């Protein structure tokens, strides 16, 4: 067994949080930082091209292809739950959408016991992350490592959809990361020139020029090493051999909402009954480790456009159109090859929304496909997807045994709450109203998904159960709070042990209303400030 010493901090995972944290901690020249990444290097054209996420999300070479257990809420289907397994983690394979969420999302966190995490508390950290290419604002950052760009593509059908939404009463919103999330407009993306900007390209790779930062790839963490209740290191497997690395200050889990609770449980921190069932020593009985799993369940609606040729389904099969797209991307850093998982969309309220706060997030693309990695449909498809901003249903992540390489049991538990069912049915009805507005109705011929035959609430809900999918926003399994049952405290220290923190999306007490990548960057940025402050105080 190899043994590595000489580090202050060991970070498990080089994803959005891990890369950001490593870069910030290594700014202290005296801090010796080791990053362990279970995947390989983030090389390859499809990892760099913005639209390459269509190929990467389900590529087993760069993605851990987890699957949920059979879920009665989605007609006993097993939901795909891919997570990045590459330097940069999911930020290297995601849909590039950069949106913080509603300001009240973070005020909710504070109200739930995450002291110091209100919107006013976290805004400076959001600003420190980014360089936004749009107009200057006190709400936006101008000097951060991550490049955030406005949409660089124009599509007539998307423009007409926006006109329909505004005629319906939704205001135009020029910056979803500005004063409010409500309304419709174009989404912002993590783009550096014509290429994807990930946590690796923005934070980790530049920081690796420092002599005090070390990255080990293909190094799969198998357990945390303890001396009593004090975390002292990490045991990991690389090239078939087991190694140990030791930390003088802290071990920090950045494995995400599946692997962080899995590693805690394998290390004896979790529900005592579960750990004993698998013959593990109970180091600390933490019943909520792996609980509180949340995700956004997305329902796609698809219509077939008329013959004007404004669907990318048509352009992708036309050699001349393809050449134009490639040239526009290469010369102008614009066009369809620079888009992410949504071009336009916004936040809206159903009749179930409380306090005027949006409960639906909508994403529009001038194409249609069953899921990333599959061919675009052969008809002229146009998609409006949506999800409920704050689902009440909760799932869990639990180890199935003691093998660290075995996937844990992921119970997604979608649509278990009655309110979730009602809101998603209303979402279908709202989207249909937008399709049928005069500003857009003349563009399409037929509704393909869910299909015009689905009209009653029961029929629409059944279609959702059969057709809805994940948007890969798993969060919450290591909930932070100020109560005894919280997995981590508001400083992200794991309760019941010492010198161990969790820094990733798993600490969110409640899922944010929109995409979860931007708030994950923020969590790591704030965590780095807290960790360095603690180190300087001792």
Q: Catalytic site residues?
A: 473
Q: How many residues does the chain have?
A: 538
Ranges of beta strands (E only) in 199-289 are: 213-216, 220-227, 230-238, 241-253, 269-270, 284-285
**How far is CA 313 from its chain centroid?**
26
How many other CB atoms are there within 10 angstroms of residue 199's CB atom? 34
3-state secondary structure of 192: strand
Cα dist from 26 to 246, 250, 412, 520, whole Å: 17, 14, 36, 19
> At 476, phi and psi to the nearest 5?
95, 0
Q: What does the alpha-carbon distance between residue 126 and residue 124 come to, in Å, rounded to a whole number?
A: 5
Q: What does the alpha-carbon distance between residue 501 and residue 11 come to, in Å, rounded to a whole number?
A: 10
Helices (H), 194-349: 199, 205-207, 256-266, 272-277, 312-315, 319-327
Number of Cα atoms under 13 Å in the Cβ half of residue 378: 0
Instruction: Look up residue 25 and give its two tokens.
Output: 């901690």
Q: What does the alpha-carbon distance between residue 386 and residue 468 come to, in Å, rounded to a whole number?
A: 10
CB 39 within 8 A of CB 281: no
CB 127 within 8 A of CB 84: no
Q: What does the alpha-carbon distance between residue 225 and residue 227 come to, in Å, rounded to a whole number?
A: 7
Please tell me whether 86 is known to bind a ligand: yes
Q: What does the alpha-carbon distance between residue 369 and residue 313 come to, in Å, rounded to a whole number?
A: 9
- Write the CB contacts of 119 (distance below 8 Å, at least 6 apart in sequence): 103, 104, 105, 106, 107
Beta bridge partner(s), residue 346: 362
CB 309 within 8 A of CB 380: yes
Beta bridge partner(s), residue 447: 303
Q: What does the alpha-carbon distance between residue 164 and residue 435 come to, in Å, rounded to a whole number?
A: 8
Helices (H), 436-516: 438-441, 457-467
Cα dist from 224 to 228, 278, 427, whole Å: 12, 17, 44
Instruction: Look up residue 49 and give its two tokens.
Output: 């091209």
Closest of 200, 180, 181, 182 to residue 190, by C-alpha: 200
Q: What does the alpha-carbon distance between residue 347 and residue 207 come to, in Å, rounded to a whole number?
A: 36
Closest of 86, 119, 117 to residue 16, by C-alpha: 86
| Residues making up the binding site | 86
Residues annotated in a binding site for FAD: 86
């Amino acid at each position: 067994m190899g043994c590595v010493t000489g580090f202050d901090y060991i970070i498990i995972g080089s994803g959005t949080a891990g890369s950001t944290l490593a870069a910030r901690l290594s700014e202290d020249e005296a801090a010796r930082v080791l990053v362990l990444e279970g995947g390989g290097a983030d090389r390859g054209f499809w990892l760099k091209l913005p639209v390459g996420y269509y190929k990467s999300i389900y590529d087993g070479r760069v993605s851990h292809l987890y699957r949920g257990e059979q879920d009665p809420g989605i007609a006993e289907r097993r939901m795909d739950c891919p997570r990045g397994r590459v330097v940069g983690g999911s930020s290297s394979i995601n849909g590039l959408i950069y949106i913080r969420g509603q300001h009240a999302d973070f005020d909710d966190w504070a109200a739930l016991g995450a002291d110091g995490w209100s919107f006013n508390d976290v805004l400076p950290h959001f600003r420190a992350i980014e360089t936004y290419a749009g107009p200057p604002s006190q709400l936006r950052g101008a000097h951060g490592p991550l490049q955030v760009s406005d949409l660089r593509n124009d599509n007539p059908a998307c423009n007409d959809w926006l006109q329909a939404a505004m005629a319906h009463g939704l205001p135009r919103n020029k910056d979803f990361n500005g004063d409010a999330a409500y309304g419709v407009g174009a989404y912002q993306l993590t783009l550096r020139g014509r290429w994807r900007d990930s946590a690796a390209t923005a934070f980790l790779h530049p920081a690796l020029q420092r002599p005090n930062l070390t990255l080990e790839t293909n190094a799969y963490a198998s357990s945390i090493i303890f001396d009593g209740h004090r975390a002292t290191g990490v045991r990991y497997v690389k090239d078939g051999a087991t190694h140990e690395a030791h930390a003088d200050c802290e071990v920090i889990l950045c494995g995400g909402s599946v692997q962080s609770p899995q590693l805690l449980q394998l290390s004896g921190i979790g529900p005592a009954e579960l750990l004993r069932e698998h013959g593990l020593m109970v180091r600390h009985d933490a019943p909520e480790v792996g609980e509180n799993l949340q995700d956004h369940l997305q329902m796609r609606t698809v219509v077939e456009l008329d013959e004007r040729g404004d669907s990318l389904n048509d352009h992708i099969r036309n050699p001349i159109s393809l050449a134009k797209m490639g040239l526009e991307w290469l010369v102008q850093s614009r066009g369809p090859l620079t888009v992410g998982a949504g071009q336009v969309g916004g936040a809206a309220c159903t009749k179930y929304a409380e306090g005027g706060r949006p409960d639906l997030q909508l994403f529009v693309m001038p194409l249609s496909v069953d899921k990333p990695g599959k061919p675009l449909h052969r008809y002229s498809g146009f998609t409006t997807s949506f999800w409920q901003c704050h689902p009440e249903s909760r799932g869990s992540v639990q180890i199935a045994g003691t093998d660290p390489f075995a996937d844990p049991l992921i119970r997604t538990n979608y649509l278990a709450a009655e309110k979730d069912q009602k809101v998603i049915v209303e979402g279908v009805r709202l989207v249909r109203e937008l399709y049928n507005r005069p500003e857009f109705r003349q563009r399409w011929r037929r509704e393909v998904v869910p299909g015009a035959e689905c009209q009653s609430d029961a029929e629409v809900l059944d279609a959702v159960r059969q057709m809805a999918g994940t948007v890969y926003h798993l969060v919450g399994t290591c909930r932070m709070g100020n109560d005894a049952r919280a997995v981590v405290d508001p400083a992200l220290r794991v309760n019941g042990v010492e010198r161990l923190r969790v820094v990733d999306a798993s600490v969110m007490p409640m899922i944010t209303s929109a995409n979860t990548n931007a708030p994950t960057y923020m969590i790591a940025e704030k965590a780095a400030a807290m960790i360095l402050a603690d180190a300087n105080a001792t």
